Every structure is written in C-alpha cells, then in structure tokens.
Structure 1
C-alpha cells in the first residue's frame, strides 16, 4: 500500500511540475498593447519653446508640402509598460513604464491608401531623431503611410530638452534605471502593434493597415538586427517584413522576409551571406551611406530646428549623388509583394573586389559590379562611397564632376548621352532595381543637362 501511495505521489508531483512549466513553454510571449494619445496639438512650425502646446510642432516636421499631395503629418504619444532586453537576447526587465512619440505621415483619404505602412526606427547617431528613410516622393506615389518611432534614449532626451512643453513627459529609460536602450526593442514592437491592430486611438486615423513593414537605417538597422536575431524568437511577431538599409542584417533565418540594401560605403569585404528564399541583399555601386539627397533635404530642417546645418571638411568633395533612395523604393515594393504574395525579389550582382581585398574600379575610378544606376553606368562625375576626414565624412562618399575634356571624350552628342541614360534605366526597371517614376526623373535631369551639347 505504501509503495502504491508513493507511486501516486510521484505521479502527482510530476504532473504538477509539468503544469507549472506550461506557461514558460506555451510559445512566444505576446507583445503588450500600448496606449495611443493624439494627435498632439500643433502641426505647423512655430516656437518649440512656447508654453502653449498648440504653439509647438513635431521635431523635424517635414517641410515637404504634404497637403498638396493629399497627405497629413500628425504626432502621437505612445505609452505603456515594456520589457527590457540586452543585446544577447536576455530579458532584463519586465513591465517598465515608458512614454514616447510617433510621427505619422499618411494619406488623408483612405481611398488613396495602399494598405502598407513603413515603420521606421528613428536613427539617433547624430544625437537626435532622424527620419533617415523618409522618401516623400516614393511614399506618396505608392500611397503608403510612414511612421517614425522614437525608441532610444538619446533621441528622447534631446526631444525633452528641445521642447519641454511638448516632450517633457517622455521617458524610455524607466526613470533612468535602464539607460542602455533595453526597452527600445519592445517599444518598437508595441508601436507596430498599435498600427497593425489598433484599439482606441489609431495612429492611422480611419485607415486600416494591411501590411506593416519595419525599416531602419545604419545604427537603427543594427538595433533591428538584435531584435530580429535575439528578441523576436521569444515574442510574437508584429511586423510582416523587414528592411535593413545601409546597415547590418540578421543572420537568423525566420519566417519574416529580410531585405538588406547597402551603399558602396557599407560594403567592406567580399565575404557576404548568400541570398535565400527569406533573404535578399542588394549593393548600390557609387552610393554613399549618407549621400547628397539626405543632406539637401535635411539642411533647412536643421537650420529651423537646431539653429544651423553642420558643415564638414572632408578629404574629398563629399556627398555622392547616386540616388540610393531610388533603389530602396524599389526594394520596399518588392518586400511588400514578398510578404503579400510570397514572391521573392530579384537577386543582384554584388560589388566587385580585387584579389587583394580592395574594391575593383574602372579607369574612371567607379566601382565595378553592384546595382549600377545611370549615374554610375553613364557617368558625368566620379561618385564613390569612400571618403575620409572629420566627423561623419567617412559616410558621405565623394562627388567630383568630370571636366569638359572627359565629358567630351565620353559623349559625342547630347542625344547620345540621353539615349545611354534611357537604356541603362530601362535595364534597371526591367531588372526590378528601379521604379519607372524614378527612371523618368533621371530622364528629365539628362534632358536638362548640357552634356554633349
């Protein structure tokens, strides 16, 4: 009898152990639902130090005429309780209160909405939030919405100082107990949940998201890499696909497709991961990590919101004019189709390297291989991804216009030059690396130029 009782007790104990282990083995943890408040009053640039909230405006509010194109810009507070993770994927905190902001640029009319939302992890390398991947022309013509998420301490701290009235209550550190951006991964995930499955106030207003994509550039891509590789396997997915731009990309193979787009600056070794059914990598010859397009767009905003635009003294004339943003626009379109239809994007030739590990270049100094836009394949200037000098110069690439003798040697007539631009762009459109609207922009620029005249 005693032996029977002992076996029964042992069985009961094992059953209790299994039941107690069930919650930990129940699968990935759900992402908590945050609270969304807004839109925050004040949508036009005014005095960011005003004591009246309505007289403030979103930091780095876009100067692009959104209203003319049927778009609106709004800002929201996002708050809740987030879990903390270290860069190795260890959970270091749970249910830590936070409060941050979302910037939303979207169609005003639901009939113009594509259903796709590009959610950008705001870059803070410069010490403040930077919407590095905001591309007004491509976003608007596609009918997408763009949302910027302030997930990191550096950016939020700068916002608090820039306008205490508007941002003084923001905190992503758990009252300074977690200053290593441990909460950033869950905050970014909760932002995606608020967009994909809203309750109460929706950041998209009356629009309904169909495809929510996560995008991040440079340092933000690195943070998203940690999230994808280390955190995402332990939590339920929110984003349908990921775009890692001019930065690292995950090594883990997950169900959510991953698209990596690199400028020439970012390609430093011939060793590369292979493309798979869930991963694509494109490399843009002649492009810079931070090229001319972004610098020109941000300069007036920096003057308005920071008092001045930075001036750099680099070893070579800075800011490549190869439009990497044209390639990222094509990549987003492929990523959208990849998620919705399961159609992988086209592959692309990588940038070429010499046997000694240096980048292979032609007689003009242009990189060989890679995605070759007409600015590289039909060049009027030396555009590279390399530079040196102070501060961020190494990220700017170079732009050195050819002299007249070089141009005359390359192009005998203006019509011949324009024809070559068109031929290259047609090849890139057919290959899927360039969208027709951007090819048309290149054609207009070629027609206006004096090359070959």
Structure 2
C-alpha cells in the first residue's frame, strides 16, 4: 500500500509543478499579429485627373511635390488588406477577424546602397479631416537614407480618400462595413502594416530593400492613438516595431520592452509635472517650437491647393507659425532611437522648459521661454518665436513669429560676424549635445550668412 501511495503523491506533485511552471508562460502569452496582403504598386504615381475612370490616370492623395528622383527616391502606393481585431481604448478586444482594406504610401531609396536600413512608419494624422503626413521631413529623410511609410489607419482619413477618388480608393474600408466607426480596427491595422514591412511575404512595400529596423512614429492625435496601442494593446500581442517616436503628443505610461522617444514643442508643454527619463524613455522639449509651425505650413500649402482646392487661411490673435525648426530636433531623435534599438545606447537627456512658481512658463526680457532644447533660432534670436497663440480653429497650435525691429537687432548684435559666430557656437553646442545634426547646423549657418543681421 505504501509504494502506490507514494507513487500517486509523486505523480500529483509533478502535475502541480508542471502546471505552476506553465501558468506564467500561458498568462503572459502574446498573440501573433495577422499577416496582411499587400498589392501594388498601384498605377498612377504622377498627379493627373484623380477622378478619371482609369486607375492609371489617378494619383496618391497628398503625393509629395518634393523632387524625390533628384535625391534617388521613389514614391509608391499599395493596398493593404486582411482581417483585423478590434480594440477599445481600454485594451478590451471588441471584435475579431474583421475584413479591411486600406493604403500605404511609401517613399524610399530607389537603390539599396542609399538605404540606411531603417523604416519610419507613420500613423497618418487625420485631425484636419484627411490623411496628413505630418512627420514627413523630405530633406532629412532623403539625406539620411531612411524609408518612410504612411499608414491610413483611421476612418476619417479613409472616408475622405474614398470621396476624393472613388476610382483609386472606393474599395477602402477600415470599419468592417460601418460596424466599427470609432477606429477599433486601427491598432491592429497599424501593427499589420509594420509586419508587412518588417517581414514581407509576397509583395514587399519596400521592393527589393530589406529593413533591419522598423520604427513607429506618430504626431499629435496619432501619437495619442499610438499611446493607447503601446499601453493597452501591445502587452497582449506580439511586437512588430522595434521602437516608437511620439512627436508633439502624448506618450505611454507603461514600461515596456521597446524604447519610447517623446519630442515636444513648446506648445505641448503645459505643466511642470513630467515623467522622469528612464533606460527606455526619453522626453525632449524644444523651446520656442510650435505644435504646427512654419516649415509644415510652407510644405503643405501647394499640396492643399492641388488636392483640396486651396490652403486654409487663419486669423490668429498673434502672428502665427513659429519658425523654430522642431523637425531638426526630431531628425536627431530618430538617429538616437535607431542606435538605442540596435546597440542599446540610450539618447542624451535634455533640460526641460522652465516654469514659474505660479505654473506659467518662465520667459526672458525678449519674451522667449527659458530652458528646453535651445536651437540657435532661440538662443541667438532675430524674432520672437513662441509655442503660444490663440484665435480661431487651429491657431493655438501654431505658435507665434514676430521679427524684432531694427533697434532691437542693433542692440543684440553689433556686427554681422559677431552674430554668425554666436549662431555657430550655439549650433556646435547642440551638435555635441546630440540635439542637432551637422547637416542641419550647416543649413543654419548658410541662413545666418545670408542675413542682414549686424550689417
């Protein structure tokens, strides 16, 4: 009787042990991302008659006017389709295997020798009611050899595309036939886009290029959507992106395995209460920068004329559109994020914008905010650039730009050589600190040399 009893106890103990060791793995299991189908490139890459009956006579919405060919780049568009799960903003799954079809816009090197191996996958921003490639930085992207991919993940953008060109986009749908109209499918669609790029089967959105690093980036509202994905959805599914860039918007609070880089303009910094930097989180704040500044407005105006019939005109409380180039800092952040992912080298920290005890932003005698990453446009100023404004529509996002009068400039800079020397000193400091790339510092120098300041 003793031996059978002992044998039974041992067997039971073994079963319990196996269950205990299996339970954590099972509880922590992350579901694989479904593999989508990629079709394309879609004919019609040169702007023509978007309402033509022949698909080849249409063209991608917001196709870039930047001369890609001169920089060894091509622009192509693809259909992305499959079945996606739906998630609410708390991370609850609300649907499974819902059919969808959307589009990818790809701007990439034509030759593999120019490709740096990194793909920036942008969640297209739809705050204006249509897809906006808010983080497409033509000069830096082509100069540094990135591939850029824009993903149409949200209903508002896709609905506008369908109406804009029924021939090209009429079959697109990210709502499961209007069952899920609050972008429940967007998180899985964005993840599937990343999978199609990182691990292509069949048609590759990158052609013959092979990605070694795939990063997710999003601006403003898109950063908010990515925050929900990172905090709520990603813990339940297998990762496809190696790192994340949250630009002029929110960032995750969860500590995950993938590095998170947040870059904010002055506009976006509204409180002195901030999350601390960690081994997997960096936050940079750009003094004088606007949520939506001058560079983006100038780039988009001719596209809005072409594709929307006109660029919007705003009446703001202050002269709008800060000219502090936040995109220079973002370009530096991407380079750091790549090294962070590939080598485990964390980016440098940066000083925060300074607040007064009453919670307002501290400013100097010229009205410029104190602290933060101070590019030469702020540290060696020729105008008042801030992140603040007010008025109609999107004015609060534009910041301000008010050139100094001649008397103020004469008081600041006695000679042109002295002014240029100060610009160079500030930019060298920022390059060494890691906040600015040498090529962008060179652009600043050329602009300073052309100016009349101090003459």
TM range (shorter): over 0.9
Following superposition, the deviation at residue 23 of structure 1 comes to 10
Following superposition, the deviation at residue 21 of structure 1 comes to 8.8
Question: Is 1:413 aligned to 2:398, yes or no?
Answer: no
Q: 1:143 maps to what in 2?
A: 145
Following superposition, the deviation at residue 22 of structure 1 comes to 10
Alignment of 1:213-224 (within 5 A): 213-224=215-226
Q: 1:227 maps to what in 2?
A: 229
Following superposition, the deviation at residue 290 of structure 1 comes to 0.1
Indicate the SS of the match to 2:227: helix
Larger mean Cα displacement after TM superposition, 24-33 or 424-433: 24-33
Alignment of 1:41-440 (within 5 A): 41-440=43-442
The gaps in structure 2 that reach 5 residues or longer are none
Deviations 1:37-86 (A, max 9, x none): 00000000001111110000000000000001100000000000000000
Following superposition, the deviation at residue 25 of structure 1 comes to 3.7
For 1:223 and 1:164, how far apart are their aligned partners in 2?
27
Indicate the SS of the match to 1:383: strand
Indicate the SS of the match to 1:185: helix
For 1:447 and 1:162, how far apart are their aligned partners in 2?
44
Indicate the SS of the match to 1:213: strand
For 1:245 and 1:26, how far apart are their aligned partners in 2?
30
Report the count of equivalent residues: 447
For 1:34 and 1:393, how far apart are their aligned partners in 2?
39
Deviations 1:292-349 (A, max 9, x none): 0000000000000000000000000000000000000000000000000000000000
For 2:112 and 2:72, how far apart are their aligned partners in 1?
10
For 1:129 and 1:141, how far apart are their aligned partners in 2?
24
TM-score relative to the length of structure 2: 0.95
The gaps in structure 1 that reach 5 residues or longer are none
For 1:421 and 1:311, how far apart are their aligned partners in 2?
33
Deviations 1:111-157 (A, max 9, x none): 11100000000000000000000001111111110000000000000
For 1:131 and 1:364, how far apart are their aligned partners in 2?
34
Indicate the SS of the match to 1:102: strand
TM-score relative to the length of structure 1: 0.96
Indicate the SS of the match to 1:233: helix
For 2:24 and 2:88, how far apart are their aligned partners in 1?
25
Indicate the SS of the match to 2:371: coil
For 1:356 and 1:47, how far apart are their aligned partners in 2?
56
Indicate the SS of the match to 2:384: strand
For 2:260 and 2:116, how far apart are their aligned partners in 1?
21
Indicate the SS of the match to 1:96: strand
For 2:134 and 2:150, how far apart are their aligned partners in 1?
10
For 2:56 and 2:308, how far apart are their aligned partners in 1?
20
Report the CA distance shift for 1:26/1:351 in structure 2 as closer, same or farther (over 3 A). Answer: closer
Following superposition, the deviation at residue 26 of structure 1 comes to 6.7
Report the CA distance shift for 1:128/1:232 in structure 2 as closer, same or farther (over 3 A). Answer: same
For 1:303 and 1:91, how far apart are their aligned partners in 2?
41
Q: 1:448 maps to what in 2?
A: 450
Indicate the SS of the match to 2:148: strand
